[in-house]
Amino acid sequence: MQSQSLSRNKPAGDTGSTSGAAPKVGFVSLGCPKALVDSEQILTQLRAEGYETAKSYDGADLVIVNTCGFIDAAVQESLDAIGEALAENGKVIVTGCLGAKKDASGDDIIMKVHPKVLAVTGPHALAEVMDSVHTHLPKPHEPFLDLIPAQGVKLTPKHYAYLKISEGCNHRCSFCIIPSMRGDLVSRPIADLMLEAENLFKSGVKELLVISQDTSAYGVDVKFRTGFWNGRPIKTHMTQLTEALGELAKSYGAWIRLHYVYPYPHVDQIIPMMGDGHILPYLDIPMQHAHPEVLKRMKRPASGEKNLDRIQAWRKMNPDLTIRSTFIAGFPGETEAEFEYLLDFLKEAQIDRLGCFAYSPVEGATANELANPVPEEVREERRGRVMLLQEEISRNRLKAKVGKTVRVLIDEINRTGGVGRTSADAPEIDGVVYVKPPFEPHKKLAVGQFVDVKITTSDAHDLWGEAQ
Ligand code: SF4
């Protein structure tokens, strides 16, 4: 989970200051990269209209909290953040997934816990959020449109950014309430995405992370209609979008990384595009389980696909392919045999990057009504077994990289050198490479720079190496 918060005590270190009189909005952003993109769009619009942003509660005239409502811990974190903003500032507008969530009696959760908030909207509600801002903190007289960078306001570091290609989801996985909060799939026009990508590259972005709820489904809602970019027809389809982004990335020497891809047959066409170093050989495929009966109970998309065969075929096409996935242990009704089937799958599949969660009953999810829920201690114990197995798999897979030279994008400079990531590492969720700088002082490492690194050491998560 990402979170950007306001400080209580820091003096108002404002960003984007345009004039002393402009109204100031504080922003707290919680949740996943999709929520982060919503936050960026709201911040961009605020800047476009001449509002300033404040870094502390007491420097803000009003605070917006973008919430997450996915699991119970995220709900609590969001409610706490709203409480803090109310206590520290008092004028609070709430948006995001938790805003769309009701309790068992159908009442709005946020209004029940925090009746003093000024307004509540669901996710992806830029227009409603701006309406509430206008009501409670009137727009500055002069808009400062020319002060807005073309790429908008970003919450990520300058050298990487998320590109949200669609909103919502047509699936109804039984453990998930996202469709009830974010609605059905709505794909963004391909020309808008290409323009946004180009502006981001022009602003210095070196890695673009494509996100959505279901990247493989891009364009389904508009029947893959043809759009136009630079006078050229491009279909609203995952393969054509990936191809076009790859070409654009190539002209800026940048990376494209694909997240939330379901293993539908057309993903096979993406793998050959991963050969030239711009569409990264990396697929984030949330599989959640391997046993067909559990997948059926989960109502997972592409559950009929033979994932193991697919992964093996992809690795034959591109041996450098990194696969990241998430799994749930202890889903309702999961028997010991079904769980062991998952372990066997993981041994065979050799997933490079893996997250495993013990099943958590999210309020409103239909999976909670399934028979034979697994006791909490068994869920946790199974999660532990998956992570133990994965640690060994990951350790061995990373060990195989020792001695190789890999391309690294530097994220951070510290006292001992740099910290960066390879094509196998997405920011925030995967491992990192600790890079020893070159001896020559004129070859200093810099954030956002690509550097070739010879790998010397590894553990179960990270790599260490020397810049070449
Ligand atoms: S694919 Fe399933 S888990 Fe993912 S957002 Fe859609 S319903 Fe939720």
Question: Tens of pLDDT along 265-283?
Answer: 889 999 999 988 899 999 9
Distance 173 CA to ligand 1 centre (A): 5
Give the strand pairing for 166-167 and 186-187. Answer: antiparallel
Q: Is the CB of 367 under 6 A from ligand 1?
A: no
Q: Which atom of ligand 1 is nearest to the CA of 177?
A: 8
Pocket test for ligand 1, best of 178, 357, 359 (most atoms within 8 A of CB): 178
Spacing, Cα 187 to ligand 1 middle (Å)? 15
Nearest protein Cα to ligand 1, atom 8: 176
**Chain mean position to CA 147:** 28
Closest ligand 1 atom to 288 CA: 3
Report the chain's mean pLDDT, rounded to a whole number.
Answer: 88
Highest mean pLDDT among 90-99, 109-118, 280-289: 280-289
Q: Which residues contact 441 (CB under 8 A, 6 or more apart)?
A: none
For the Cβ of 79 lying below 6 angstroms from any atom of ligand 1, the answer is: no
Q: Closest ligand 1 atom, CA of 300? A: 2
Least-confidence region, from 41-45, 82-86, 381-385, 444-448: 41-45
Q: Whose CA is nearest to atom 1 of ligand 1?
A: 171
Using the predicted structure, report yes or no on whether residue 84 has a pLDDT greater than 70. Answer: yes
**Does 173 contact ligand 1 (Cβ within 6 A)?**
yes
* pLDDT over 50 at 255, yes or no: yes
Q: Output the residue whose Cα is nearest ligand 1's atom 4.
A: 213
- Residues 6 or more apart whose CB falls under 8 angstroms from that of 175 comprise 288, 298, 328, 331, 359, 362, 365, 367
Range picked from 100-104, 128-132, 245-249, 416-420 for highest mean pLDDT = 245-249
How far apart, in whole angstroms, are the C-alpha atoms of residue 154 and residue 43?
8
Distances (CA, A) of 310 to 104, 263, 349, 447: 41, 8, 10, 36
Q: How far is the CA of 391 from the centre of ligand 1 (A)?
A: 27
Question: Given this model, what pLDDT does residue 19 score?
Answer: 40
Q: 110: alpha, beta or left, given left = phi > 0 and alpha = psi -120 to 50? A: alpha
Q: How confident is the model at residue 9 (pLDDT cuts 50, 70, 90)?
A: very low
Residue of 173, 174, 295, 299 best suited for mutating to test ligand 1, as the one with most atoms within 8 Å of CB: 173
Binding residues: 32, 68, 97, 169, 173, 176
Return all residues near 348 (Cβ < 8 A) that are at least 6 apart.
308
Global pTM? 0.76
What confidence tens digit (pLDDT) does each residue in 338-395 have?
A: 999 999 999 999 999 999 999 988 888 899 999 999 999 999 999 999 999 999 999 9
pLDDT on residue 148: 54
Residue 124: is its pLDDT beyond 60? yes
Question: Hey, what are 51's tokens?
Answer: 């509002």
Other CB atoms within a 10 A radius of the CB of residue 303 amount to 20
**Is the shortest distance between the CB of 77 and ligand 1 below 6 Å?**
no
Residue of 177, 267, 160 lying closest to 213 (CA atoms): 177
Q: Which residues are annotated as a binding site for [4Fe-4S] cluster?
A: 32, 68, 97, 169, 173, 176
Kindly report, residue by residue over 195-239, the tens digit of the pLDDT: 999 999 999 999 999 999 999 999 999 999 999 998 899 999 999
Ligand 1 centroid – CA 366 distance (Å): 13
